[in-house]
Structure formats: structure tokens, C-alpha cells
Structure 1
Amino acid sequence: MNTNPIFIVGNVHSGTTLLRRILGAHATVYEVGGETQLFHYLPLHRRCYPNLEDEKTLRAYITYVAKVGKTHYGFVHNWPQDKPAPLAEFSLDESQIDGMMIEAKGITNHGEVIKVVMDYIARSAGKDRWMDKTPGHLLCIDQIIKDIPEAQFVELVRDPRDILSSKRSRSSAEWMQRRLKIVPNIQKYIRFQTGYDPVWDSLTWKSAIRIGTQAQQKHQGQVMRVRYEDLVTEPEQVVTAVCGFLDLPFSAEMLDVGWTNNTTQIHSKKGSGIGTSAIGKGM
């Protein structure tokens, strides 16, 4: 039984959500419902929870990680800061936090605590391993492997012209404008994350490709690169290869995912989630 954590990384708008839904359909994989950003903000965690030898601090950090792991980063941080959400909002209770505390006892490394908490959540859900889809964790591969040596990564890459087209559509999408009005305290964050600048975004894509290539060379056997175009054109062949890399038995049911488009925020639980309609839109 392979229990290695799975990380889906890559440039934004590269199909990472689609792959998350495909792998998340596997019976042995616990799928976090959104981006966790846990390793992206690890330096901030160390400042906010500096001494994990202190039981109170460790419990607070475990509780935070568990909340993110049961939902996602946005859900936790969009909650009013002056009114902390009860554990029940995250399908958690104090007995589960107690169990995580027991397993994390003596661990003072924040990254290792993340693994303990996520392992616990996956087991509690009846799964063998967990999967995190945070595109920006592409920048954190070295740190993640330092803390979780057995971690495996699938990097998504996509034609930069189609990424630019997707970002342009998202930056002006009606749902995004509504969100800015509803959650004003994160306006700057959202504008930064969704802003469209063809020059900057092109340079970001180029940098991501370089970082991914270096990670493949440095951590051979732990990082697999997948082209979005190949995934949607030959899904069974590509997903079978990804499953082989991750030591997951392939199942045809994995391909029966609902359609999702994070640019328009339109989702469906029915099949037909894999298609080629998004190829070539930027040409």
C-alpha cells in the first residue's frame, strides 16, 4: 500500500483542478477541496506559531492545519477574524485534535506537523493517502521534500497562449467582480491573484517551466510533468501513466468527472469533464 502524499503543482490555469478531480475520484485518495497554500506560507506559520514545543502553540497550529485540510485555504481565511469558526464548521471535533496532538508529540518541524495532520485526516476518511492541489507549491518542492521525503509531484503545463486567454477571461468574469464586493477585506489579494498582464504572465509561465524542469532533474522519480493538451486529448493513456507513476491502480471511473471551469466558476457533477474545447482559445 502506497501512502505517499500527492502534490499537484504548476502554473495557474494549467488544468490542475481537472487533474485533482480525476485523482480525487480514486477510492484510496483523500482530496482536499481546494488549495491549501500550507507550504507556500510556511515561513509565516513559523512566525505565527514559533514554538511547537509549547503544547498550546502546537494545538493551535494543528487546529489551523486541520481546518485547512478539511476545507481549503480560502474557506479558513475568508472567515471573519473577530469570530473564529467552531470546529464543527470544518467537520472536526476536539477528540480528533487530541488524536493529532498525540501523533505530533515531540515534533517541532512545521512541515512534519502538516504531514501528521493530513495523514490523520486521510485515515479518518478511510483513505490511504492525501492529495494537495496548490499550483504555487511548484515553488516549494525542495522544502516539501525536505519535510516529506516520500512526497510525489505531478506538474501540469499548458500552452501559454491558452493560459493568457483563460486569465483574461477570469479577470473580467462577473463572478469575480461579485466576490470583490462580497469580501472586501481580500480585494487586494484577489486582484493580485487574478489580474491579467500578458507580459508579466508570460514571464511567470517561463519561470514556472524552468522551475519544474529543474525539479525534475534534481528529484528524479518524484516529479512527473504532464501536458494539459495530452491529458484532455488522450485522457485514459495519460491518467494511466500518472497512476503508474503514483503507484495507483487505474480505474476507468476516474475519467468520469464532472465538468469544471474555474474561470467561469461553472461546475457540474455529471461526466464529460474532460474535453478539448479549451485548447487553442488563445491562438
Structure 2
Amino acid sequence: MNSAIEHFLLTSKLTQRFYQVPASDLNSNDTSPFFIIGSGRSGNTLLRRLLNNHSQLYIPPETYVLGRIIGHYIRHPSLTWQELVFLTLSNFQFDEEFSTFHLPSLNKLAIELKTLPQDKQSLAMILNSFYKFYQSHHKLQGKRWGDKTPYNTFHLDRIMGVFPTAQFIHIVRNPYDATSSYLKSGIYNKFEDAAERWFQSVELSCQFGRKYPLQYIEINYNVLVTSPELTLRKICEFLQVSFEDNMLKAPPTLLGDVEEHSHHANVMQDINTQHIGKGLKSLSSDQIKYIQSKVNSSKYSSITNFS
């Protein structure tokens, strides 16, 4: 289904009349998360680590089910509240990455949600409650949740339909370094696939930012690692929270998926610039030309300066 049509189904008062449960809750001030988006291998997890050190914010491990959950909702307007609660929480609990959240069974949460009065029922409420359950279980101080799953970049309109006041932080790394990092980490084995993932992700993020400029900010990876305090101050202003020295000074907290996946190993190191420019050194001349030709292509005209 076209993303524009999906967004219409999620947000139109006309179409929402046919859904048993609304997608979002515009009357709630408690469902305004933020999302780190863009291509993977771009400093996304480093940024998550830094923002997790803020007293008012928290970002759980990556979850790859958010787009799928919203897709199920769109295609099945007749789902009852109890069915939607069960379907949504099952997607989280039976995903292979659920173990990285270090949570118990979601049965208790499901029981609590099923007893909510009708005026509190929405898909956004279920999703928000899952993230709040994570916060409560781990006794986290932060009150506002974020998400750092690069794959969510392919579901931005869906997410916006459920969380219309959400904010989006697009972190951009140059395609040479990001592509090289994808290959080195083993996430992709084929160069063309790794490069295409960068181009698709960055193009989608930039296009989204042009549609929602007030809810979108673009951050450059090179600037983050060379001027981390300046960059974090900019992000904090965007999120409407005060900058805290602790974001840079505190030791890394346990991040769940970082400890379990080798491709996140560098995240626990001190901020450094040693990974800038590695792509141009490790990629072949033909691979560099391939990327440059795509950068110059009109197909990717939405991509902004990444150097």
C-alpha cells in the first residue's frame, strides 16, 4: 500500500471512523516520542548512548516490529481493543530481539491495558505503554522515550500517523564511510546492497524532513564526533530539554543490544574521530566511483550535504 494512502488512513477523521480503535491519541501529552533515523552505521548507536545519559530521556534497544505493527493495524480496522493489545504485544515479545530488552513476560502489561476505559484506548497508547513498561522495569529516571532503529526509516509516514507530535533526529554520515562500515560489520556482504541501503535511507529521511521541517533535525556524524557538546546542545534545544554535562561525562550505561552484537563494539569507546575517512581508504576506486555517480544522480536530489 502506498505510504501516502497509509498516512491518510491513520490520520483522516473520515477513515478512522471505520476503525474499532483509533491510531493516535491527540488529547494525550504523554505520547510524543523522538526517533533517531537515517542509515545504519552512521553513529546512531553512539548518539543513543549520549542521549541515554540525559536525566529526562531514555532510548531502549532496537526493535524491528514497529512498522509491522502499524501495518497490521492499517489492514485490519475491525480489530477489537483486546485483539489489538494481544497482537501488538505479541509482536514485541516474540521478536528475536526481545531478549535484548531484558524484560519479563508482557502478560502483566497486557492485563493492565485490556482494562483501560474506551476513551484511553489507541494504538499509540499500547506502544507508549510498552516503552513505559521498559522504563519502569529498569527503574530509569527519564520520562520521555525515544527509539533508535534505523529500519524505522522505511516506516516514517506510518510512525507519524500514530505519533503526530513525534520528533525526528536524522544523523547523516558520508556514504563512503557508512557503506564501508556496513561491509566490515558483516551486516551486508555485497557492496551494492550496502551502498543502496545508505542512499535509500538518507533519501527517505531527507524527503520526510522536507514534509515536516518543524519536527525534523539533521545532524552530521563528523560534526558530532569533532564537536560533541555543540551538537548535543543543538539536539537538546530541538527536544526542548536542557543540555546536561553528564551526557558527555558519564560512563556508558548498559544498552542491552550493544553488549550482544559485535557490530556495536565501538560504541562503548570514548568519542573519537578515528573512523572519519576510513571508507575512502578501504573501498576500491570503482566502488568510490559507483557511490559518486549515485550522489550526482537526480534520483537522489533530496539528499543534503553530508561531507
1:268 Cα shift? 7.4
Q: Which runs of 5+ in 2 are unaligned?
A: 1-28, 281-307
1:111 Cα shift? 5.0
Give the conservation status (yes or no) of the 8 Å contact 1:10–1:156.
yes
2:298 corresponds in structure 1 to none
1:66 Cα shift? 6.0
Give the conservation status (yes or no) of the 8 Å contact 1:53–1:106.
no
Amino acid at match of 1:18: L
2:6 corresponds in structure 1 to none
Give the conservation status (yes or no) of the 8 Å contact 1:8–1:134.
yes
Give the conservation status (yes or no) of the 8 Å contact 2:169–2:219.
yes
1:61 corresponds in structure 2 to 87
1:224 Cα shift? 0.8
- Aligned to 2:62, what secondary structure does the other structure show? coil
| TM-score, structure 2 normalization | 0.67
1:76 and 2:69 equivalent? no
1:217 corresponds in structure 2 to 210
1:142 and 2:168 equivalent? no
Structure 1's 22 and 3: CA in aligned 2 closer, same or farther, altered over 3 A? farther
Give the conservation status (yes or no) of the 8 Å contact 1:6–1:131.
yes
| TM-score, structure 1 normalization | 0.72
Superposed, 1:1-283 pairs within 5 Å as 4-32=32-60, 34-42=61-69, 45-46=72-73, 51-53=78-80, 55=82, 57-64=83-90, 67=93, 73-76=95-98, 90-92=103-105, 94-103=107-116, 105=118, 110=123, 113-119=126-132, 121-122=134-135, 125=139, 126-171=141-186, 194-256=187-249, 257-258=251-252, 264-266=263-265, 272-283=269-280
1:167 Cα shift? 1.6
Amino acid at match of 1:148: F
Structure 1's 75 and 210: CA in aligned 2 closer, same or farther, altered over 3 A? closer
1:231 Cα shift? 0.5
Cα-to-partner distance string for 1:44-85 (whole Å, 9 max, x where unaligned): 644998754152x234235336648xxxx543389xxxxxxx
2:195 and 2:44 map into 1 onto residues whose CA distance is 18
1:52 and 1:231 map into 2 onto residues whose CA distance is 44
1:104 Cα shift? 7.5
- CA-atom RMSD in angstroms: 3.4
1:203 Cα shift? 2.9
Structure 1's 115 and 51: CA in aligned 2 closer, same or farther, altered over 3 A? farther
- Aligned to 1:204, what secondary structure does the other structure show? helix
Q: Which runs of 5+ in 1 are unaligned?
A: 79-87, 172-193
Structure 1's 246 and 207: CA in aligned 2 closer, same or farther, altered over 3 A? same
2:31 and 2:184 map into 1 onto residues whose CA distance is 38
